[in-house]
Amino acid sequence: MDSFNTKAVHGEKLPKFIQSKVTPIYQTSVFSFDSLEEMEGYYNGESPYLYTRTGNPNSDELANVTSRLEGAPAGVAASSGLGAIMAAVLAVAKNGDHILAARDVYGGTFYMLKEELARMGIETSFVDFEDQEAVEAAIRPETVILYTESITNPFLRVENLEKMADLAKQKKLVFIVDNTFATPFLVKPYEFGADMVVHSATKYIGGHSDVSAGVVVGKKEYIAAARSRVVNIGLNLSPFESWLACRGAKTLGLRMERQSANAQKVSEWLRMQPKVKDVFYPKGVSEKGNGAIVTIHLADHTDEAAFFRSLGWIQIVPSLAGVETTVSWPFGTSHRSLNAEEKAAVGVSEKTVRISIGIEEADDIIGELEKALAKA
Ligand SMILES: Cc1ncc(COP(=O)(O)O)c(C=O)c1O
Indicate which residue of 103, 157, 188, 203 is catalytic. Answer: 203
DSSP state of 199: E
| Residue-level pLDDT at 1 | 62
Output the pLDDT for position 17: 81
Measured by CA distance, the residue closest to atom 16 of ligand 1 is 106
R_g (Cα) of the chain, nearest Å: 22
CB-based pocket (< 6 A), ligand 1: 80-82, 106, 108-109, 149, 153, 178, 180-181, 200, 202, 212, 214
Summarize pLDDT for 280-322 with one digit per residue, the tens.
999 999 999 999 999 999 999 999 999 999 999 999 999 999 9
Ligand 1, atom 14, residue with closest C-alpha = 319
Ligand 1 center–CA 363 separation, angstroms = 29
Q: What is the pLDDT of residue 337?
A: 81
pLDDT at 58 over 80: yes
Q: Where do the CATH 3.90.1150.10 domains begin and end in the chain?
A: 252-375
343: annotated active-site residue: no
User: Are 30 and 50 spatial neighbours (Cβ–Cβ below 8 Å)?
Assistant: yes
Our answer to whether residue 281 is catalytic in this structure is no
**CA 75 → CA 53, 60, 171, 221, distances in Å?**
15, 8, 25, 11
CATH of 36-249, one of 3.40.640.10, 3.40.50.150, 3.40.250.10, 3.90.550.10: 3.40.640.10
Mean per-residue pLDDT over the chain, rounded = 96
Which of the two residues, 373 and 16, has the higher pLDDT score? 373
Q: Which atom of ligand 1 has the smallest separation from the CA of 82?
A: 11
Residue 225 banded pLDDT, cuts 50, 70, 90: very high
- Separation of 17 CA from ligand 1 center, angstroms? 37
pLDDT digits (tens, 9 = 90+) for 68-87: 999 999 999 999 999 999 99
Q: Do residues 161 and 194 lie in contact, with contact meaning Cβ atoms separated by under 8 Å?
A: yes
Ligand 1 centre to CA of 117 (Å) is 17
Of 110, 180, 204, the one to substitute when testing ligand 1's pocket (max ligand atoms within 8 A of C-beta) is 180
Q: What integer pLDDT is reported at residue 15 of this predicted model?
A: 79
Angle between helices 252-270 and 362-375 in degrees, nearest 10: 40
For residue 274, what pLDDT band results from cuts at 50, 70 and 90? very high
Q: How far is the CA of 106 from the centre of ligand 1 (A)?
A: 7
pLDDT in tens, 186-213: 999 999 999 999 999 999 999 999 999 9
- Band of residue 112 on the pLDDT scale cut at 50, 70, 90: very high
Please state the CATH superfamily assignment of the domain spanning residues 252-375 in this structure.
Aspartate Aminotransferase, domain 1 (3.90.1150.10)
CA distance 84 to 217: 9
pLDDT level of residue 2 (50, 70, 90 thresholds): confident
178 flagged as catalytic: yes
- Residues 308, 31: Cα–Cα separation, whole Å: 49
Which one from 26, 60, 104, 106 is the annotated catalytic residue? Answer: 106
Tell me whether residue 106 is one of the annotated catalytic residues.
yes
> What is the mean pLDDT of the segment spanning 230-253?
98
Nearest-angstrom CA–CA distance, 173 and 229: 20
**Selected residue with higher pLDDT from 27 and 16:** 27
Confidence of residue 153 (pLDDT cuts 50, 70, 90): confident
Q: In the chain, where does the domain assigned CATH 3.40.640.10 lie?
A: 36-249
- Determine how many CB atoms are found less than 10 A away from the CB of residue 78: 31
Mean pLDDT of 162-177: 98
Minimum-distance ligand 1 atom for the alpha carbon of 212 = 10
Instruction: Check pLDDT > 80 for residue 147.
Output: yes
Percent of the chain with pLDDT over 70: 100
